[in-house]
Amino acid sequence: MPPATPSIDELRQLESDDFSLVLGGPLFQLWRRAHLSDAVGNMPHRRALAAVLLAWAPLLLISVVEGRAWGRIELPFLRDLELHARLLVALPLLILAELVVHRRMRLVARQFLEDGLVPDDSRGRFHLAVASALRLRNSVWAEALLVLLVYGIGVFVVWRTRLTLDVSSWYGVVADGQLRLTAAGWWLACVSLPLFQFLLLRWYFRLFIWARFLWQVSRIRLDLIPTHPDRCGGLGFLSLVRVAFAPFLFAQGVLLAGMIADRIFFGGASLLEFEIEIAGVVALMVCVILGPLCAFSAQLEATENRGRREYGTLAQRYAREFDHKWLRGGAKPDEALIGSPDIQALADMGNSFAIVEDMRWAPFTLKTVLHLAVTTLLPLLPLTLTMFSAQELLARLLKVLM
């Protein structure tokens, strides 16, 4: 049963204090009952440790018992780089990222209101957007659907047909074209992978909630200022999402790096064979994070056009009066040009008009795009060493040092 719509007083409290993309849903309530989280999402290290103990530790124990932890097979457990990157690095990062996103993104609603971007007569619509986001975040049906997607498609379709290696491994052996799972493989398929995929899909669901919230807010006629120093009418604070979502992007990079590493070391592939996949993941991450911000482009364009018109008229009027006063004999005989505030005022008018001219139609810059791309690509950096042999790498190092 969906939660009741908050009252107006509750909404006012929510909009300034408790707007969060992560503090809600059945899993969050489970974390709280298990004393792995408090009401504001603290103790992420406990949740990360619990997830690793549930997802990775049993695989190690079962693989040791089955004799598949090391040696005798092409891909033993301890050498499965993709698995360890997924469960020992990416999985904790997805959990630790929750606290980062909560602390930073909760300020977004407050920023819209404290900066006076939402007019008083539109606050009701803003309240409804907040309430709608919170209801979707807390939805039991949404997380139930994610579980169905994980087991119905993520594990038994995508993983078994697309992501497994065609070698004898710790999790299974390919026989007659079919992957026959070991005991460790069954734990991986029934517990470890579903947990990881659920947390990953839940992040994409949160990004959908965020994008939907921004789209609803962008339908409100915001009070944007053409001469705001951030060059985007006062919406420059939205570009801080690059910091909030950095752990999530890094986890995506770790996931990609682990997948590529297994195929390099056990499938005979090279890093350059995955340039399309790498470019695709980076482009997807940039679009997922920054794409929702483009919902404000129409208002920013309209604000720039209005600023050009209004400040252009004001600048024309001031320049004409300045011209009349100082070039056409309008100044008083005893009034000195040097030191006159008119000169500084003319310069200030020019600076204001230049800001309007430089307005962006999106609340981010190329630097923001590069920041997101580098964060995603950073985990792939060690794999560049596989492009050189040990002898070639040593020779190059000696050449640089000598």
In a domain, 173, yes or no: yes
Task: Choose the final residue of a domain: 205, 236, 251.
Answer: 205
pLDDT tens per residue, range 3-12: 444 454 544 5
In a domain, 225, yes or no: no
Q: Is the pLDDT of residue 101 over 60?
A: yes
- Contacts by 72-80, CB closer than 8 A, 24 or more apart: 73/168, 73/169, 73/170, 74/167, 74/168, 74/169, 74/266, 75/165, 75/167, 75/168, 75/169, 75/170, 75/262, 75/266, 76/169, 76/170, 77/170, 77/184, 79/265, 79/266, 80/169, 80/170, 80/262
Do 315 and 188 fall into the same domain? Answer: no
Do 327 and 188 fall into the same domain? Answer: no
- Decide: 52 and 87 in contact? Cβ < 8 Å: yes
Q: Is the pLDDT of residue 394 over 50?
A: yes
Beta carbons within 10 angstroms of residue 211's beta carbon = 16
In a domain, 227, yes or no: no
In a domain, 184, yes or no: yes
Residue 132 CA, chain-centre distance (Å), reads 21
Specify the higher pLDDT residue, 351 or 225: 225
pLDDT tens per residue, range 127-183: 899 999 999 999 999 999 999 999 988 887 777 666 667 778 888 877 766 778 899
Of the chain, the percentage scoring pLDDT greater than 90 comes to 55
In a domain, 260, yes or no: no
Q: Report residue 261 as tokens.
A: 């590493």
pLDDT tens per residue, range 226-270: 989 899 999 999 998 889 999 999 999 999 999 999 889 888 888
Range(s) of the domain holding residue 337: 310-351
In a domain, 4, yes or no: yes
- State how many domains the chain has: 2
Residue 270 CA, chain-centre distance (Å), reads 29
In a domain, 274, yes or no: no
Task: Choose the final residue of a domain: 187, 205, 223.
Answer: 205
Do 79 and 198 fall into the same domain? Answer: yes
- Decide: 84 and 196 in contact? Cβ < 8 Å: no
Look at residue 390 in the predicted model and tell me its pLDDT: 58
In a domain, 376, yes or no: no
- Tell me how far CA of residue 98 lies from CA of 48, 214, 291, 302, 329, in angstroms: 11, 19, 21, 35, 67
Beta strand ranges found along 27-177 (DSSP E)? 172-175
Check residue 39 and report its DSSP letter. T
pTM: 0.86
Do 12 and 138 fall into the same domain? Answer: yes
332 pLDDT band (50/70/90 cuts)? low
Check residue 227 and report its DSSP letter. T
Nearest-5° Cα angle at 140, 135 to 145: 115
Look at residue 177 in the predicted model and tell me its pLDDT: 65
The kind and range of the H/E element at 179 are: strand 178-181
